[in-house]
Structures are given as C-alpha cells and as structure tokens.
Chains A and B, each alone.
Chain A
Amino acid sequence: MKHLNLAAVSLTAVLMAGTAVAQSYPEGDIDLVVPFDPGGSVDVTSRIIAETANTILEGAEINVVNRAGGGGVVGQTTVARADPDGYTVLAMTSSVVTNPQMKGAGYAVSDFRPVALYNLDPEVIAVPASSPFETAEEFLAAAEDETMNVVVAGIATSHHMSGLAIERATGLEFSYIPTKGFGAQVQAIAGGHADAALWPLGEAASQMGSGDIRILAIASEERSEDYPDVPTFEEAGIDIPIWATFRGWAVPKGTPDEVVADLSDLMQQVSETPAYVEKMEAAGYTPTFRDSDGFSFVVDNYAEQTSAIIEEAGLGQ
C-alpha cells in the first residue's frame, strides 16, 4: 500500500513537473502581428489559426494585432525590434524577404527567425477563357513572336519577379501591366483586357468556377491535386521547379530555441486539427506545415531566387 502511495505521489510529481515545463511558455498572451489591415489574406488566415490555437493553448491566448502601413513594412519593423521572448510573433510573408531591398525597410531578413510555415501558394499563369492559347506551350511560342501583356500585382512584387524569372528561364520578354488589387486583376483577365496574368494559385482558384479564366501552368514541383490536368512549370518547359509565395510565423532573432520549438509545435497541432483544415480550405488556402528548419529553407531559397533577379533587373532602391 505504501509503495503504491509512493508511486502515486511520484507519478503526480512527474506529471506536475511535465505541466510545469509545458507551462513555462507561454505564461501570458502572445501578440500575432499582422502587418496589414483586417480582412486581407494574411489577416484572415492568421485569425483562423489563432482561433484553433486558442482552443489548444491553456492559460494564454493568441491575439491578432493589425499594424498596417507602408506595404507591411511598419508591422514587420515592429516585430524585428520587439523583445525576442516569443510574445511577439510576425505573420511572415514573402514580402519580408524583398522589402529591405525594394522598399528600403530598416530590417534584414536575418533579423527574423522563421518558426513555422502554414501555407505555400505556387504561382500560376492564367489567361482569359477567350484566349487563343490552350496550353502553356502555345502561350510561350506566341510570346516569341509578339510581346505579351502580362498582368501582375505591381512592379517588384513577387508576381512581377516570377515573370522576370520566367523571362530568365525562357529568354522571352513580357510587357508587364501592374494592376493593384486582385479584383482589378480579375477584371482585366476575365474581361479579356490583357493576355495573361501571374497569380498565386489560392486566389486564382476562387475564379476557376466562373468559366472566365483558364490556368496554363503551376510553378510547383508536383501537379496540384485539385487541378491534375494543369502541368507544372517544368513540364510546360519553364525551368523553374518552384515559385511560391509563403505565409508563416516568425519571431525576432535571438528568441530561445525552446520557445521557437514550442511555437512550432503549436502550429503543428493547429495544422492537424480537422476543423482548421476545413476552414482554411473553405477560405481558399491549402494548409500545410513545415517546422522552423523547413520554413528557413523555403525563406532562404526564395531570398536566393529573388536577390539575383532584383539585381539583374535593377529593381533595388
């Protein structure tokens, strides 16, 4: 009996120790800084994540904080300068990589430590349904004879850079039509006012049912499950294995390893919650998960791809 009691006590002690370690972080609420206004894609996905994460976290909450301005630079700078204690997390997007070069942001990519990735959005080539080009090959062949008008979200955005990357890979030359806002871009393509657009798959997918647009190729390593008939860039003859914008979490550099691991685990748990997966997919985003190392690899790879292009095209400030 005594033995049993002892065992029970020690078991309780172990359990309590376990909880004590788990509870050392987070002790308070975590600010998830979205460097854009409420309602955008980063805000929406961040809120879906926070909702699920808050059902997992005990005694702490993730608060989504919108710090908009300067095309994301204001909020990104805030996090870069925040205390590296794990209580300020940035909703990190591809623009963090290019903003220092393109917009003169005061931070460097190395000021952040990637925590976890939750969404990768590969680039697609989209054309109007009325377009004469049925396949990527036809489009590329025609682009050799005649300069194509290609709609992109803006000069020096990752979409413009994906166009420059295609130019590098194929030797073609495009004429870019910078159009702010996805709505206006859809209007240009669905209305047949330009030849093609470079879009993230997530947003293009929202228009696929309309019959107004067609996608010719997707810049990912494998074909998309949702669009098995659409070839990858490589299959279509464009030597770019992957070009994707990413969304994830990052913390200021210097944040302790354990905290990064805890946050990454939290994101993993979120990503395995069925309700979360359903919500993300309904909102048009394919949820995925990569831990800190996996995310760092994606960020470094993207930085490598873009910095060469920025330099070549003379886009830097």
Chain B
Amino acid sequence: MDMILLGFQTLADPMVALMLLVGVMAGMVVGSIPGINDNIAFAVFIPFSFSMPAETALALMVGVYCAAATGGAIPAIVLKVPGTASSLLTAEDGHAMARKGLAGRALSIAITSSVVGGILSSIVLLLFAPSLARVALEFGYVENFALAILGLSSVVGLLRGNIVKGVIAALIGLLVATIGFSPMTGAARFTFGNINLIEGIPFVPLLVGLFGIAAMLDLKADVMKTRDPDAGPESLPKIGSLRLPKGLMRRLTPVWGTSAAIGNVIGMLPGAGMLMAIFLAYDQAARRFRRKFEGQPGEETWGDGAPEGVAAPEAANNAVTASSMVPLLSLGIPGNSTSALFIGALALHGMVPGPLLFTQHGNVAWMIIVSFLFANLLLWPVAWVVLRTVSRSIFAIRKEAMVGVIAMLCLMGAYSDGANLFNMWVAIAAGVVAYVMRLASIPLGPAILGLVLGPQLESSLNNSLRISNGDWLIFFDAVNHPISAGMMVASALLWIVPAAMGLRDRARAAKAAAATKDNG
C-alpha cells in the first residue's frame, strides 16, 4: 500500500503529470492519423526520451500507449480508415453508424468503451500485478499453441455468409506468415534472396499497407465513382451529438464487462497481443447481438451499425494496454510488441524490467501502474478536445486531398520503421493486395489474424511436438496441460455450436414448411 502511495506521489510531480497529459493528447492524435501508430511514435520518441528523467519519459509513453488505442477509432468511424491496427474491427459498424448520421454516437461509444476497458484493466494491474504474473508463467509452448488455435477460431464470429472465403483469407494470412527464415531450421523461405525478407515481411509497414493504403485506394475509388464536375467538394459525415442515451449504456454494460475481461486475460499472455483480443471480443459480442437483438424491429444487422460492434473491440483494446504491463513489469516479459518498447525505454534509464524492478525502482514501477489509471481518466476530456479541434479541422479537408495526405502519411510511417526504403514498397504492395481482396469480397480480418498468429502457431506447434516427442495428444492432455485441453474444447465449440444451431434452424424450417404443406 505504501508503495502504491509512492506511485501516486511520483505522479503528483507537476512535470510528470503534465507529461502524462501531453502523452495522452499526442497518443490520441497519433492514433487518429492513419499510417502512424504507437509503435512508430515510440520508435521516434525513445531516442528523445534519453535526455528526460525516467519518470517523465515513462509517463509520456504510458499516455501515448493508452490513447493511441482509442484515437485509432476516430478515423475508423469517420473515414472507415482504421488509425491503428487495434481499431480494424471498429471501422465496420462504426462507419456504418456514421453514414446513418450517428457518427457522434459511434465515437462516443468508442471512447466510453475505451475508458471503461482501460480503467477496469488499470485496476486489475494495480491490485493484482505480481500475483497475476504467475498465471502468465503457466503458458508454455503447448498452451500457446492452443491459444493460437482459439484465436483463429474466433474468425467464425467474423464470417458473415461466405465461410469458404473467410477460411481462404485466414490461409492466405498463414501462408504469408511463413515468409522469412524457418524457426525450426534457420533456412530462409520465400525470400527470393532479398535480405529485407529474412525476418519475414516487416510487420509495421505490412499493417500500414493493409489498413492505410488499402483504405486510401478505397477512398480514391469512391471519389472517382461519385465525381461530378459541377458539385462542390463532398463533405465527410458530421460528427453531431456525442451524447449516449442511458438505455444504450445499460445495454452495452455486459459487452464492456466481457470484452474488458477478454482484453485483460489476453493482454497478460505474452505473444497474443491486441489484435487477438479485439477479434475474440468482437466474436463474443456478435454472438450476443445475434441472440438478443438481431431481427428485432429498429435493430441494425451485425456489421452494419450495431453499437456492440464498436463497443466490444474498443473496450478490449484498451483493456490490453494496462494488462500487457502485468508480465512486463513483474517478469520482464512483454505482452505485445508495443509494450516491448517499454523495456527499451526502461533500460535507457538504467532500469531492467523484471522481478527486481519493484524492489529497486518501486517508485517508477508504481508510477507506471498509477499512470495507466490516470491516463484512462484523461481519455474522455482529451478525446473531446481532440474531436472538437484537430479532428474537426482534419475532416474538413476534402476527400480528394485526404487521399493524398493519407497516402503520404502511410508511406512516411512505413519508412520510419527502421528507416528502410524497402518498407515503403511493402506498404504499397500490401495495400494493393488488400484492395484487390476487398474487390473480391474476401474478408481482410481473418487474413490479418492468420498473419499475426502464424509465427506463434508454427513455433509453438513445433516446440510442443519436440517436447512431447511427436505426440499430438499433448494438446488434449487434461492432467498435465489442463489449460490447453480447455482451450481446445472451447475452440471446437466455437466451430460446432453455430453449425449445430444452423442445422437445428434448418430442420425447424423444414418441419414448419412440412407442417404448412400438411395444413394446406
């Protein structure tokens, strides 16, 4: 308790508190710019942070990290261009709401969900960091494989209509993930002798291309289709009122609870990351929506403006931010690639994350934890200011110009990751591929999930089998690997339940048809 107070005390330093605020604002802006994400912002910022005291630098990083996940939702809703990878799913229902004149409500749901998810996970971090870290240690190779399978199974919730196309997309993602040297033999695969591909396709530029460049092409096509030489510039959807009706808050509360819980658990597990959390949360919300609301009068269909489709991923991605610090601070194990950059920032200031951090630098460790709580409390006011100022002026730019601006920002963002020109070509190629996939109505979501989970799937499978001497049953061993066995069952249910329900519905429909025929 004393230590927690020490954390508050460190944060109470006006300079540190100010930097946290600056970080939240910067993160919100960075997140809301397509092509630039927190990863890139950190890579640019870390060298500067060297000259600052550790507390200030880390407070700023916490602010950026929390707010970037929220800021990404702004262009996702207004432009259907996700600002960050974590707002990929928000773009679907969020933008649909915006087109129906509910942009303000969608943004409001996104921000409120972020705050709720973020605060819940900050509290978890504050109260349980050291004890929860032990849970992360239970995850070995076998459990990680089962987790990857569970993540991939969540695509079922994403697939509307064409399951085959969804599976094809996931396979494309998994195949692309095999580019680069094989973890098992060290041999290069599909690199065509290009040294830039040795470690696989550079990930940040790839994401920038898949979201930013593809969305830019989409926007461009849109502009060309609707071009009318006589008409003035087309305006973007008005943001409108940000008020959330009470009934909607009540309705979304269970979604927030589930999504924050998913984000908390996934965030703590090393290697899983934000994308997996948003997919799992989205999947859960989709199931709930279909069960309770779909088909009722006045309700949208899923993917076309359902409020849960915005609330779930946004609550989940902010829940990941704080919980990914649990294993990082107490064990030195980063939960995802962005939190891994905190290790670098800490090391630059002579601190090594891990078991000794709390004893040697307790004030900084607790300051980081407390900062997460305050950063999330700052999110709403800062989001309000950013929406009313920065975003309003950005979205006043006409669409034609916006296309160019986004393209430039994306290419810059891709380049700044490693200062490598090759990255720009990666972004462009990925953007074109994603655009073609959209034309062929192959969903992008499963492909991304495949890309993210591919390496984890491959190495955890190989390593598990190496440890078990080739015995595949190790994944279902309820005695020695109960977590894995449980997740395998859960994954199977994710596939079986919708199929069974579909069959039941079909049988019922047939019976009903038969009955009407008899009567008639």
Q: Give residues in A with beta carbon < 8 Å to B.
A: 37-41, 43-44, 47-48, 51, 64-71, 73-74, 77, 102-106, 149, 154-156, 160, 175, 177-184, 186-188, 190-194, 206-207, 209-212, 278-279, 282-284, 315, 317
Contacts and interface: CB of A to CB of B under 8 A. Distances in A.
A282 B199 CA distance: 31
B418 A68 contact: yes
Contact of B186 (A67, A156, A188): A156
Contact of A104 (B137, B195, B345, B351): B195
B202 to A, nearest CB: 7
Interface size class of B (residues with CB under 8 A): 35 or more
A68 B350 contact: no
23 contacts: A39-B42, A39-B43, A39-B340, A47-B50, A65-B419, A67-B418, A68-B418, A68-B420, A71-B181, A149-B466, A154-B183, A155-B182, A177-B466, A178-B463, A186-B331, A187-B136, A187-B331, A191-B139, A193-B140, A194-B467, A206-B353, A210-B356, A282-B350
Given A103-B195, A104-B195, A187-B139, A69 B420 contact: yes
Contacts of B450: none
B47 interface: yes
Contacts of B139: 187, 191
A178 B46 CA distance: 29
B459 A180 contact: yes
B472 interface: no
A39 to B, nearest CB: 2
Contacts of A183: 270, 327-328, 331-334, 340, 343
Contact of A37 (B43, B186, B332, B354): B43
Interface string B317-338: 0000000000110011110000
A212 B355 contact: yes
Contacts of B46: 38-39
A154 B198 CA distance: 13
B355 A66 contact: no
Report which residue of B182, B188, B455, B463 has the largest number of chain A beta carbons within 10 angstroms of its beta carbon.
B463
Interface of B: 42-43, 46-47, 50, 136-142, 181-188, 193, 195-199, 202, 270-271, 327-328, 331-334, 340-341, 343-345, 347-348, 350-356, 359, 417-420, 422-423, 455, 459, 463, 466-467
Given A178-B459, A180-B183, 10 more contacts: A38-B43, A39-B42, A39-B46, A74-B196, A103-B198, A183-B332, A183-B334, A190-B331, A191-B138, A284-B352
B466 A207 contact: no
B418 A284 contact: no
A106 B193 CA distance: 10
A38 B47 contact: yes
Contacts of B142: 193
Contacts of B354: 206-207, 209-210
A193 B138 CA distance: 9
Contacts of A206: 332, 352-354, 356
A192 B139 CA distance: 10
A183 B423 CA distance: 26
Given A51-B50, A69-B418, A177-B463, A184 B270 contact: yes
Report which residue of B140, B270, B332 has the largest number of chain A beta carbons within 10 angstroms of its beta carbon.
B332
B355 A207 contact: yes
A70 B199 contact: yes
Contacts of B359: 209
A44 B344 contact: yes
Contact of B422 (A69, A175, A283): A69
Nearest to B187: A317
B184 A317 contact: no
Nearest to B356: A209
A68 B196 CA distance: 9
Contacts of B47: 38, 47, 64
A105 B193 CA distance: 9
B183 A37 contact: no
In the A-B complex, list the 7 residue pairs whose CB atoms are closest, starting with the nearest.
Answer: A39-B344, A282-B350, A193-B140, A68-B418, A210-B355, A155-B186, A156-B186
B463 A179 contact: yes
B339 to A, nearest CB: 10
Contacts of A194: 140, 467
A143 to B, nearest CB: 15
A191 B137 contact: yes
B355 A209 contact: yes
A149 B459 CA distance: 14
Nearest to A202: B352
Contacts of B467: 149, 177, 193-194
Contacts of A191: 137-140
A67 B421 CA distance: 10
Given A44-B347, A67-B420, A74 B340 contact: no
Contacts of A103: 181, 188, 195, 198
B199 A71 contact: yes
A194 B459 CA distance: 14
Contacts of A193: 140-142, 467
Contacts of A149: 466-467
A155 B185 contact: yes
A155 B183 contact: yes
Report which residue of B43, B50, B419 has the largest number of chain A beta carbons within 10 angstroms of its beta carbon.
B419
Contact of A283 (B137, B352, B420): B352
A155 B420 contact: no
Given A180-B459, A209-B355, A186 B195 contact: no
A223 B140 CA distance: 32
A104 B188 contact: yes
Nearest to B353: A206
Contact of B195 (A40, A70, A175): A70
Contacts of A43: 344
A187 B348 contact: no
Nearest to B422: A69
Given A187-B270, A212-B355, A155 B136 contact: no
Contacts of A77: 195
Report which residue of B182, B186, B351 has the largest number of chain A beta carbons within 10 angstroms of its beta carbon.
B186
A94 B141 CA distance: 28
Nearest to A76: B195
B62 to A, nearest CB: 15
Contacts of A212: 137, 355
Contacts of A51: 50
Contacts of A284: 347, 352
A40 B348 CA distance: 10
A14 to B, nearest CB: 38
A104 B344 CA distance: 29
Contacts of A279: 350
Contacts of B181: 71, 103
Contacts of A104: 188, 193, 195
Nearest to A177: B463
